[in-house]
Structures are given as C-alpha cells and as structure tokens.
Homo-oligomer: A and B are copies of this chain.
Amino acid sequence: MTDFEHLSAELNDLLCVLNLLNWDARTQMPPGGSVTRAQQAATLSRLAQEKLLSPAFERAARDALQARPGDHAAGQALAAAAALRRVPAPLTGALAALKGEAQDAWASAKARSDFGAFAPYLERMVQLSRDLAGALGYEDHPYDALLNLYEPGLTTAQLTPLFDRLRAHHVPLLRAIGQRPEPRSDFLTRAYPVAEQRAFSLGLAQAFGYDLSRGRLDESAHPFEISFTRQDVRITTRYQESFLPGALFGTLHETGHALYEQGVSPELTRTALASDLLGLYAVGGASFGTHESQSRLWENRVGRAQAFWTRHYPALRAHFPEQLADVTADEFYRAVNRVRPTLIRVEADELTYDLHIMLRVHLETRLISGDLSVRDLPDAWNARMKTDLGLDVPDDARGVLQDIHWSTGYFGSFPTYTVGNVMAAQFYQAAQAALPDLDADLAAGTYAPLRAWLTEQIYRHGRTFTPHELLVRVTGQGLDETPYLTYLTDKFSTLYGLG
C-alpha cells in the first residue's frame, strides 16, 4: 500500500462509519439517542475533514499523482480538498448552523402551510448558497458550482436546453394521455399485509441479484440505500398496507442503487471518497445521476415493463389471492403505469415525476442566479404547476413547502433525478444492442446477463470515471435525451392508445 492508499483507506473507513451512524439513526436508534448521535457524527465528520485537509494527505496524493499521472482517486481527493479549502470556515459554520434552524422552521411552516414563516430562512439559505457557489468558483453560472457537487462536469448551460426539450415533450404527451380513459386501479389500494409485501419484494430484489450475504432490507420513513463498502450494502423501504406499489417499486428502486454499490470492483474497496457542500461521504458510484440511472433502470425499465408482470404476476397473485382475484396481469401492468398528475412529487408516476423535478430546477436556478426572489417563489411554483401539470395548488404545504431539500441547502441535487432517467435510457439502449437475448431473458425472469453487463460496463468502475466519461465509454456519446423520449413515447402511446 502506498501512503495515499493507506490514508485514503483510513478516510474511507471514517466515511463508511458515518454512513453506519446515519443508517442506524434512521432504522434502529431509539429516539432518545438523537442528540448524542449528532455529536458523534459531527466528531467523525470533523476528523474526516481534518484528515483530508492534512499536509500528509496532500503530500501522499501528490506523490500518487506523480507516480501514476492521471490517477483518478488522487486527482479527486486533491480536488475535494482544494474545494473544501476554498470555502471559508465562517461560511461552513454559518451553513451548518442555518441548516438545523431552517429545517425546524420548514417543518413547522409546512405543518401550518405558512410560507411566510419559512421565507426568511430560505432567503438566508439562498444567500449562503450563492456565497458557497462563489467560494467554490464557477465559469458561467453560479448554479454550476452547486450542481457539480452532485453531478461533476454538468453545466447549467447544458441542463437548461435539455430540460426545455424534455418539457416540450412531456407536457403535450401528458395532455394527450389526459384525454384518454384511465385504466382501472381500484385494486392497488386494497389491504395488502406487510409481511407478504416484504417477502414478494425481497424475492424480486434477490432475483435481480441483490446479495443478502452483503446486504439487508429494513424499514424507514423515507426509503434509501446506503453502503459501508461493497461488502455491506443496505436498503430500506416503507410499507403501506393499503397501497401495494409503494413498497414494491420502492424496493426495486433501492435494489438498483444497491446493485451498483455491490458491483463495485473489490480492488476499489476502501478507496471511494466523495464530497458535497456539507462534507464528505463514501459512495461507490460515479455521481448522483449515474446512481439514479441504475435505480430507475431496474425500477422502471425492468420492473414496470409488460414482460415483467407477465412473468411475475402469477407469483404476486399467489401472495395475494383474494386481493387480486378479479385482476389480470395486463390490468395490473396498466395500473402500475397509470399516469395521473398529482401535487406531490414523491407520489408522482414515471412521466410526471420529471415535470416535478424540472419545475424545481427551473425555480432553484433562478433563485441562485438572483432572477427570482424568495418572496415570488410560491406564485412561480403555482403558475408552473398549472401550466405543466394542470393542477391548482390549494396551499403551500402541498406546493412550495412540500420538500425538505431547500431547507437543508441541497441546491443542485434535484436535476440528478431526471438526468438519471435520461442516462438510464441511454444505458439501456446500449444494453439492448450488446445483449441480443435481453428481451428473452427478461421475459424468462433471467436477470444475470443484464446485471453482468451493467457490472462490467458501469458498476465495477466505481468512481473511476466521470459521468460523462462513463456515458461515452458505454454508449458512444454524452448526455442525450433521444432514447429516453423514444422510450416514453412508445410506452405511453401503446398503453393509452395514442395516435
């Protein structure tokens, strides 16, 4: 082991332990532990930052770069350290302090649907985030600096026209769907016992290739995937007895994330370092968007396909014989692909989800650039919700106050959800070209060839390549929405019998 490898391994250990503190807090910890747990996490976080910023680490990383010019891990570590150094300590402190206050203010404002009570905190958070962007540095748009914390290399100049094209596609498609009769979906809200939901979902996760000797499934208020090296990759889901698709597709989604982390090459164990605006963390994948591309690919491209339900519906019906007695496989497939605008992002379907994301990105880029004031935010939200989704927002709790993200200062992370959808379609198209038997395999419930191909092409590389490098290696080109739009048009035209 070189000095750099040794120090990186230590740093990665600390970040994995931070992940464990987080997982435990969200799935196991008794409520009384929250204050001391936060102190423990703060101490570990500080130690990790000290390590990254230490002269010994910088020297070791420079030696590694000299020994192997272009060494990706060393380059990334130096860049992360440089970025951390550029942010003045008072700003980091102010952001951390505001985060706690703003979250509390947001929660109480949301409970009372009172945007005015949250506005001063959001104004301050926008200001500090602009300061952060300035400290981090950017060439063109201050939003770039924040976006790159989650999606290295992507620019607002690239993102804005991409999202314009998506929107120009999605809105008319949604309107056309709205003219067609809704598929039947009454049966999705019958009573589905949680233990059976869990058994069926976990069975599918294992069929996809999720390795339970290196993972486990728990419950949490919001589903997530988290890893402590590739050897221990855990997922959670949330069960609602009276809504079957929630835990089911939630589990498939997190399984996609988990397959990525479990598929990272063993040689990369203890090397992964990543950072965002509030610190460092350990994650095996190339970026948030790349990660999301895999959760979406397994959830939507595999798990919401007609062939999938032709194959697995009999097993589902065996778990729930009474609840699904009067439902055919085709009816089930149509129900879980139903498109219906909703006010709430986390309840949105595959098509309208992007519209929720693009609404937020449109607004937050303008908040950060200064083209939109916090005062005008609710009206802007409500206006776009009307034009894009056709919905009137009855109150801010179900509108601009619905997400926690802005109260935590996570400006720049929303785009990665939709970027992930776009990438997923590109990767899936490449998989189709490379695997002539893919359709037959999926129809037979055989997922190993697809997983092996994705592992070889994407997962094993971990963070070795940037998202753009990875896309070009695997698909021959950079971010391109064509395959995604073709997929959506084909799928929903068939489902809804559109011209």
Q: Are A39 and B232 in contact (CB under 8 A)?
A: no
Q: A24-B24, A28-B216, A30-B215 are in contact. Are A14 and B43 (CB under 8 A)?
A: yes
| A9-47 interface with B by 8 A CB criterion | 9-10, 13-14, 16-17, 20-21, 24, 28-33, 35-37, 39-40, 43-44, 47
Q: Among B10, B36, B216, which residue has its beta carbon within 8 angstroms of that of A229?
A: B36
Complex contact B270–A33 (CB within 8 A): no
Most chain B beta-carbon neighbours within 10 Å: one of A32, A44, A214, A228: A32
Chain B residues with Cβ below 8 Å from A402 are none
Please tell me how many copies of the chain the complex holds. 2
Shortest C-beta distance, A378 to chain B (Å), equals 38
Task: Kindly identify which residue among B10, B24, B213, B216 contacts A20, using a CB–CB cutoff of 8 Å.
Answer: B24
Q: Is A36 in contact with B215, judged by CB distance below 8 angstroms? A: no
Residues of B within 8 A of A114 (CB): none
Residues of B within 8 A of A44 (CB): 13-14, 17
In the assembled complex, which residues on chain B have CB atoms less than 8 Å from the CB atom of A13? 39-40, 43-44
Q: Is the interface of A mostly helix, strand, loop or mixed?
A: helix
Return A57 CB to nearest CB of chain B, in Å. Answer: 14
CA–CA, A40 to B31, complex, Å? 26
Residues facing B in A225-268 (CB within 8 A) are 228-229, 231-232
* Residue in A20, A44, A215 whose Cβ sees the most chain B Cβ within 10 Å: A20
Indicate if the CB atoms of B228 and A36 lie closer than 8 Å. Answer: yes
Q: A30-B214, A216-B30 are contacts. A39–B231 as well, Cβ < 8 Å?
A: no
Q: Is the CB of A30 within 8 A of B232?
A: yes
A16→B20 CA distance, assembly (Å): 13
Interface residue A269 (Cβ < 8 Å from any Cβ of B): yes
**Residue A469 at the B interface, CB < 8 A?**
no
Shortest distance in angstroms between A279's beta carbon and chain B's nearest beta carbon? 16
Q: Which of B28, B31, B213 contacts A30 (CB 8 A)?
A: B213
Pairwise interchain contact B31-A16, C-beta atoms closer than 8 A: no
Decide if A498 is an interface residue (CB 8 Å cutoff): no
Q: Which residues of B contact A30 (CB under 8 A)?
A: 212-216, 232
CB–CB A211/B270 < 8 A: no
A43 to B282, CA, bound (A): 15
Known contacts A10-B43, A228-B40, A270-B39; A213 and B32 CB within 8 A of each other:
yes
- Judging by beta carbons under 8 Å apart, are B216 and A32 in contact? no
Residues of B within 8 A of A212 (CB): 30
In the complex formed, the residue of B with least CB distance to A44 is B17
**Contact partners of A9 in chain B: CB under 8 A:** 39, 43
Give A43 to B214 CA distance when docked, in angstroms: 21
Given A28-B216, A40-B16, A43-B10, is A33 in contact with B211 using a C-beta cutoff of 8 Å?
no
Give chain A's interface residues, CB within 8 Å of chain B: 9-10, 13-14, 16-17, 20-21, 24, 28-33, 35-37, 39-40, 43-44, 47, 211-216, 228-229, 231-232, 269-270
Write 11 A-B pairs (CB below 8 A) sorted by A numbering: A10-B43, A13-B39, A14-B43, A24-B24, A28-B216, A29-B232, A31-B213, A32-B231, A33-B229, A35-B231, A40-B228
- Nearest first, the 3 A-B pairs at minimum CB distance are A33-B232, A32-B214, A13-B43
